[in-house]
Amino acid sequence: MVEKLKQVKILIDENKPEEAKALIDEIIAATPQPAGDEQENSEVPLPGQGSNF
């Protein structure tokens, strides 16, 4: 994955943003996603805003 990220930097330096974006999409697709519902922990109250006194 590090090698692909280095390739992305080279593509950006060579002013090839579309190729860089395609490679980034490949990296994202190959990255394991966290298990569970993403919305599950999105509603965590800030300190002082919860009902857990």
11-15, 25-29, 44-48: segment of lowest average pLDDT: 44-48
pLDDT above 90 for 52: no
Percent over 70 (pLDDT), the chain: 79
**In terms of DSSP H, where are the helices of the chain?**
2-13, 17-30
Minimal CA–CA distance to 26: which of 37, 11, 42? 11
**Mean pLDDT, rounded, for 30-38:** 76
Percent of the chain with pLDDT strictly greater than 90:
55
Q: Name the pTM for this structure.
A: 0.60
Cα atoms in the Cβ-side hemisphere of radius 13 Å centred on 33: 6
